[in-house]
Amino acid sequence: MSVKDNLHNLKEKYKGTKMAPAFNAIHTFLYLPNEVTHGGTHIKAADDLKRTMNIVIVALIPCLIFGMFNAGYQHYAAIDGSLRTDVLANFFTFDNLWIGIIKVLPLVIVSYGVGLLVEFIFAVIKGHEVEEGYLVTGMLVPLIVPVDTPLWMLSVAVVFGVIIGKEVFGGTGMNILNPALTIRAFLFFAYPTWMSGDKVWVYDAVNMSEADAISGETMLGYYAKASQDLTIKGTNGAADLVTTYGDRANELYSTFDKFMGFIPGSVGETSTFLILIGAAILIFTKIASWRIILSAFVGAAVMGLIFNQVVAADIITESSKFYGLMSTVWWEHLTIGGLAFGAVFMATDPVTGSQTNKGKWIYGFLIGFISIMIRVFNPAYPEGVFLAILLMNVFAPTIDHYVVQGNIKKRLNRTKVKTA
């Protein structure tokens, strides 16, 4: 008997038992099930939820691979700054990849392992099928955490995020908040000292001498303190280097570096270039809403422009703590921090986002707009995109409500015209 027949017999055997959902999850992973239509349409289109989720994962893989190389690159560049002079030659090396393998892959494995375990347990207890939502969440989580996140911390956060973010609402399709962002927010607020600052973004930065580790600061960290003085102690008897954070950032990273992602940051969100490739895949396959992605970028650009104008009008001066990020050129805001990643992969979650096409424009725009606002006004923890998306997740049903009310009103008016 073939594998197919054996599995079919096993499925029949487990039918109706507690373990059926767990078995079916593995079975349907291997084989598209033999279910046929009853009642409604006799034929169905080719797509199912697994296929949809799978495309998102495909779109994320370039970011993951890049993130693995970048983990090593940032580590070695922090030790030896001269590596930065020729990024392209020093980036795709096996040493870098190896750091990725020992630091990033465990994040992926723990994220999937813990998350899917919780999903399976819930499916067995509640007697529903294991749903595919976590396939994407499990991939997003390792990409939006700092590389030095301890695995136990990640596990705790994943358990929290899957249960509170999703399962208590009834599972995939019912949740209000994006589960991946719930996990990220949990990490951020439960372990704030660990999750921010300049030590966590580069592998092993905690153990490096101060002189090296300072370049573990993210771009947002630099820009937030742009006008502050920075003294880098000279190593091997060299003279101390006195500069400002802003100048140091520009010295270390070119615009090309920022766009391509050769900068410190969370694992998979640094490369705006690869994120845009992911966006192209999602939009071409019609999996993600181009309306949300486009409007999020527009929203961020508009907020950035407003801040630039505020600075240009001298309302905010260099002495202000907001000056650094406010004076950052608007288009640069789009390439640094997690904005692009959030706009492309997180804001477009169909379950927690706006569901109407009109609503998607508003929802996306506000995500971009509020992201930059939070980024600028909260220089202590400058990444605002995940808070902005979580906030808009909460408001998405309200936006939809008003969009749908428009349709209802149109229908009522039609009746009124008739009876008048």
Task: Name the CA dihedral angle for 355, 356, 358, 361, rounded to a multiple of 10 degrees.
Answer: 20
Q: State in angstroms the smallest separation of the CB of 33 from other proteins.
A: 6
Binding residue for other proteins, selected from 73, 99, 116, 132, defined by CB under 8 A: 132
Cβ at position 321, least distance to other proteins in Å: 40
Among 127, 150, 170, 192, binds other proteins (CB under 8 A): 170
Number of residues that bind other proteins (CB under 8 A): 61
CA nearest to 69, candidates 288, 261, 232 = 261
Locus of tokens 């969440």: 137
At residue 6, what is the residue type?
A: N
Which one of the spans 37-45, 70-78, 109-117, 259-267 is the region binding other proteins (CB under 8 A)?
Answer: 37-45
- Phi–psi pair at 337, nearest 5 degrees: 70, -165
Q: Specify the residue, 39 or 237, whose C-beta has the smaller distance to other proteins.
A: 39
The mark string for 327-356 relative to other proteins (x by CB under 8 A, - otherwise) is -----------------------xx-x-xx
CA 33 – CA 25 distance, rounded (Å): 11
Q: Does 404 bind other proteins (CB under 8 A)?
A: yes
Nearer to other proteins, 16 or 40 (CB): 40
Using the rule CB under 8 A, is 174 a contact of other proteins?
yes
173 belongs to the binding site for other proteins (CB under 8 A): yes
16 touches other proteins (CB under 8 A) = no
38 part of the interface to other proteins, by CB under 8 A: yes
Q: Work out how close the CB of 31 gets to other proteins at its nearest, in angstroms, rounded to a whole number.
A: 4
Residue 229 pairs in a beta bridge with 244
236 near other proteins, judged by CB under 8 A: no
CB of 351 to other proteins, least distance (A): 6
Angle (CA) 400 404 405, round 5°:
115
Euclidean distance between CA atoms 112 and 154, whole angstroms:
11
In this structure, the dihedral spanned by the alpha carbons of residues 292, 294, 297 and 298, taken in order and rounded to 10 degrees, is -110
In sequence order, the 6+-apart residues with CB closer than 8 A to the CB of 328 are 223, 226, 304, 307, 336
Which of the stretches 86-94, 170-178, 209-217, 294-302 binds other proteins when contact is defined by CB under 8 A? 170-178
Residue 364 makes contact with other proteins by CB under 8 A: no
Q: Is 44 in the site for other proteins (CB under 8 A)?
A: yes
Among 16, 40, 94, 236, binds other proteins (CB under 8 A): 40
Among 1, 16, 36, 420, binds other proteins (CB under 8 A): 36
Q: What is the DSSP string of 166-211?
A: TGGGTSTTT-SS-HHHHHHHHHHHHSHHHHSSSSSSSTTGGGS-HH
Question: Is residue 415 part of the contact set for other proteins (CB under 8 A)?
Answer: yes
Which of 411, 271, 262 lies closest to 341 in space, CA to CA?
271
- Provide the residue type at 34 as one letter: N
Say if residue 89 is exposed, middle or buried (CB neighbours under 10 Å; 0-12, 13-18, 19+).
exposed
Site track 273-292 with other proteins (rule: CB under 8 A), x = hit: -----------xxxx-x---
Of residues 165, 171, 265, 337, which one binds other proteins by CB under 8 A? 171
Q: How far is the CB of 330 from other proteins (least distance, A)?
A: 29
CB atoms within 10 A of CB 113: 14
β-partners of residue 241 are 232
41 binds other proteins per the rule CB under 8 A: yes
Task: Judge whether 202 and 78 are in contact, CB under 8 Å.
Answer: yes
Our finding on whether 313 is near other proteins (CB under 8 A) is no
For the chain, give the number of residues: 420
Which residue's CB is nearer to other proteins, number 38 or number 240?
Answer: 38
For other proteins, the binding residues (CB under 8 A) are: 4, 7-8, 28-52, 54-55, 129, 131-133, 170-174, 284-287, 289, 350-351, 353, 355-357, 360, 400, 404, 407-408, 410-412, 414-415, 418
